[in-house]
A and B are shown apart, each in its own frame.
Chain A
Amino acid sequence: MIKVEGLYHSYSNDENYAVKNANFEIPKGEIFGFLGPSGAGKSTTQGILTGLLQLQKGNVNVAGYDVKNISQKMFNKIGMSFEQSNVYSKLTAKENLDFYRKLFDGQTREPADLLKLVGLDGKENVRAGEFSKGMKHRLTFARSMINNPELWFLDEPTTGLDPAIASEIKDIIRKENNNGVTVFLTTHNMFIADELCNRVAFIVDGEIKLIDSPKNLKLQYGEQLVDVEFRKNGTVVKETFSTIKEEEKQRLQKVILDYEIQSMHTKEATLEEIFIKVTGRGLV
């Protein structure tokens, strides 16, 4: 569904790349998670894939179309939910969707159904300008489904939503995926990614550090982590060690020998911890 080779992008048209040598492929039907801290280059990559940003360098094929010279027809197959909600404030929720559906060629979905799906039923005739941030975000999300996309780009679909609604959004994504929709999910929420994604890419400073399934990552890193609290120079220090990395094993031994241990637990690593381990970076 998506094939990216040697993708670079620089906003300043120089060597200062927001995305550096990205290579990945997404088969049909997959939920692919693009994970990284804010500013990592996720939205930039998504922007190039959806033609919002001009492709500068590399080969990108999306839904069978070469992104170098985009055909408008491509957008019949694509849905895009934006990180920053963008709906017409002077139009009602329903009017927003009614207008948007006219901009596609194929079968489109009923605005009323979509609004119900994202919990905006009863708000059909309220102008989007009067919506809360979360409601606008849900409207933006609903709109991205209107053309029955085969390939669905979601940029931070749950960010800023309260947990109950985030969970509903997650269910909708899973349901659409079960119907065969390929999903490109950009997020820095590791729980959502963990639950939804078939595979994830870790991206930091414009570079993809790793691509694998959450399952493999946990097999590789999970249950082999030890949380240790120990007293060092009078203060309590908390550190997590891998029991498979040789260097960390030796450090763990040294800690046990040298300091007074307060507590010690083995545990399953979260995707977030794995991310930190792999990239050496946090997610915010």
Chain B
Amino acid sequence: MLKKIWAIFLRDLKVGSRDSLTLIIIIMPILLGIGVNLLTPSINDTTVNLALLEGENPAQAEYFADFAKVELFPNEEAIETRVKKRDHIVGILPDGDRYYIMSQGNEPESVIEMAKLVNMYYAEGINLEDATAKLFEFGETVPPLKKMLTNTLIIMISILGGMLITFNIIEEKTDHTISAMNVTTVSKNAYLLGKSLVGMLYPVFSTIVILLITGFRDVNLGQLILMVIVSSFLSLLIGFIQGINNDDVMSAAASVKMLFLPVGAAIAAIELLNQKWQILFYWIPFYWTYKGNDAVLLNSATWPQILLYSGIVLALGLIVYLYLSPKIRKGLA
């Protein structure tokens, strides 16, 4: 039976690769991921380029070299010229017995902060190991906008996974092939499972790609994938029912679009609203997905926390399943 389920999945994949709308859905998140990257500062800039005066303080230069790329220049003008170049490099220059930071102004805040920290650690005589640990932590601090956009993108991907199922069902309806399927040894459950695979694997795969693109490479992948899978369960149920209720791809896409309303509401609630309003949004599964993803992206999620959130999403998904399952089965008879 597994072989047949796999055959159904591969067929869907093959047809998808021949369908322009499906291809758009597959490529869109990647483009959006690149967009997120361009819009927001990058995360893992633990290496900072520093420009120092040659021979001014060799011990300092040596200390800095351990966590930054150090370039040495003969005089202040040379450093200034270097800092003015397009890449992110800041100068650290002596000013009496203290040091000041010379920057061009377009460097990401994190680079400046980092330079200040390095400088401070040296001044306070913090030993190398402590400093490295602290700096690493600092470098990991995630820009909030980037985290929010990436999280939203991951949720969107799961909904798009459902949309892929919708397209597949509409294809089968247009070609009247469901009846041909019904006279094979494939049971309805196996058929539903086979069709679901696209809606499950696509989000998992795309999410990983998004993490790679946006630079969230050190998050707990297991936790995130669990969140993605439970959210996709809900998305694929909706994908099935939209496929059954619609006869053309455009009207189906329009209905699926409605889903972005509760998603948007949940995100807005978490990001903008006061704690006391949160309870109003508890019924939205994506609320919990967003919270879970957020914690994972922050690298602060614990397993009990993720199990709780994914459990809630799954429970809400099961309610939807109990409601939709008979309709889906009937629709595919």
Interface residues of A (CB under 8 A from B): 50-52, 54, 72-73, 75-76, 78, 80, 82, 84, 86-91, 95, 99-100, 102-105, 140, 143
User: A111 to chain B: closest CB distance in Å?
Assistant: 14
Residue of A nearest to B191 (CB): A103
Q: How far is the CB of A106 from chain B (nearest CB, A)?
A: 10
Chain B residues lying within 8 Å of A104, measured Cβ to Cβ, are 184-185
Q: Mark B283-327, 1 if CB is under 8 A from A, else 0.
A: 000000000000000000000000000000000000000000000
Known A73-B185, A87-B180, A99-B7; 6 more pairs at CB < 8 Å: A51-B182, A52-B179, A88-B15, A91-B11, A103-B185, A140-B180
**Bound-complex Cα distance A171 to B19 (A):** 39
Instruction: Tell me whether B175 and A89 are in contact (CB under 8 A).
Output: yes
List residues of chain B with CB within 8 A of the CB of A51.
182-183
What's the nearest-Cβ distance from chain A to residue B210, in Å?
A: 28
In the complex, are the beta carbons of A103 and B176 less than 8 A apart?
no
Contact B183 A91 (CB under 8 A): no
Give the residue name and chain of the A residue nearest to B190 (CB): A72
Interfacial chain A residues near B182, Cβ < 8 Å = 51-52
Given A52-B179, A95-B14, A103-B7, verify A90-B171 contact (CB < 8 Å).
yes
Q: Is the interface of B mostly helix, strand, loop or mixed?
A: helix
Q: Does B60 contact A (CB under 8 A)?
A: no
Q: Which residue of the partner chain, among A86, A89, A102, contacts B4 with CB atoms under 8 Å?
A: A102
B18 and A82 contacting across the interface, CB-CB below 8 Å: no
Q: Please, how many angstroms separate the alpha-carbon atoms of A51 and B180 in the complex?
A: 11
**Cross-chain contact of A103 among B4, B18, B175, B333 (Cβ < 8 A):** B4
Query: Once the chains are docked, how many angstroms separate the CA of A75 from the CA of B185?
Result: 5
Residues of A contacting B185 in the complex (Cβ-Cβ under 8 angstroms)? 72-73, 75-76, 103-105
Interface string of B151-185 (1 = CB under 8 A from A): 00000000000000000000100111101111111
Other-chain contact of B15, A72, A84, A91, A100 (Cβ < 8 Å): A91
**Do the beta carbons of A100 and B19 come within 8 Å of each other?**
no
Question: Given A88-B15, A95-B14 in contact, is the A52-B183 Cβ separation under 8 Å?
Answer: yes
Min CB distance A262 to B, Å, is 51
- Can you identify 30 A-B contacts, CB atoms within 8 angstroms? A51-B183, A52-B179, A52-B183, A52-B333, A72-B186, A72-B187, A73-B185, A75-B183, A76-B185, A78-B183, A80-B180, A82-B180, A86-B177, A86-B179, A86-B180, A88-B171, A88-B175, A88-B177, A89-B174, A90-B15, A90-B18, A90-B19, A90-B171, A91-B11, A95-B14, A99-B7, A99-B11, A100-B184, A102-B3, A103-B4
The CA of A50 and the CA of B14, in the complex, are separated in Å by 29
Residues of A within 8 A of B171 (CB): 88, 90
Q: Among the interface residues B179, B182, B183, which one has the most CB atoms of the partner chain A within 10 A?
A: B183
Which chain B residues in 123-151 approach chain A with CB under 8 Å?
none
Interchain nearest-CB distance for B177 vs A (Å): 5
CA distance A279 to B149 in the complex (A): 72
Select A80's contact among B3, B7, B183, B187, beta carbons within 8 Å: B183
Q: Which chain B residue has the least Cβ–Cβ distance from A143? A: B180
Taking the closest CB of chain A, its distance from the CB of B4, in whole angstroms, is 6
A27 and B175 CA atoms in complex are apart in Å by: 34
A84 and B18 contacting across the interface, CB-CB below 8 Å: no
**Bound Cα distance A51, B183 (Å):** 8
User: What residues of B have a CB within 8 angstroms of the CB of A88 in the complex?
Assistant: 11, 15, 171, 175, 177
**Max count, chain B CB within 10 A of own CB: residue among A51, A72, A104, A140:** A72
Given A86-B175, A86-B177, A88-B171: A103 and B11 interface contact (C-beta under 8 Å): no
Residues in B with CB closer than 8 Å to A52 are 179, 182-183, 333
Question: What is the CA–CA distance of A44 and B63 in the complex, to the nearest angstrom?
Answer: 86
Residues of A within 8 A of B180 (CB): 80, 82, 86-87, 100, 140, 143
- How far apart sit A128 and B19, CA to CA, in the bound complex (Å)? 15
Cα A86 to Cα B187 with chains together (Å):
19
- Which residues of chain B come closer than 8 Å to A90, judged between CB atoms? 15, 18-19, 171
- Please, how many angstroms separate the alpha-carbon atoms of A126 and B181 in the complex? 22
Q: Which residues of A contact B181 (CB under 8 A)?
A: 103
Complex alpha-carbon distance, A76 and B185, angstroms: 7
Residues of chain A with a CB closer than 8 A to B184's CB: 72, 75, 100, 103-104
Q: Which residue of A lies closest to B4 (CB)?
A: A103
| Residue from the set A102, A105, A140, A143 with the largest chain B CB neighbour count within 10 Å | A102
Residue of B nearest to A78 (CB): B183
Residues of B within 8 A of A73 (CB): 185
A82 x B179 contact (CB < 8 A): yes
Residues of B within 8 A of A100 (CB): 180, 184
Interchain nearest-CB distance for A129 vs B (Å): 9
Smallest CB gap from B181: residue in A: A103
CB A160 to nearest CB in B, in angstroms, measures 15
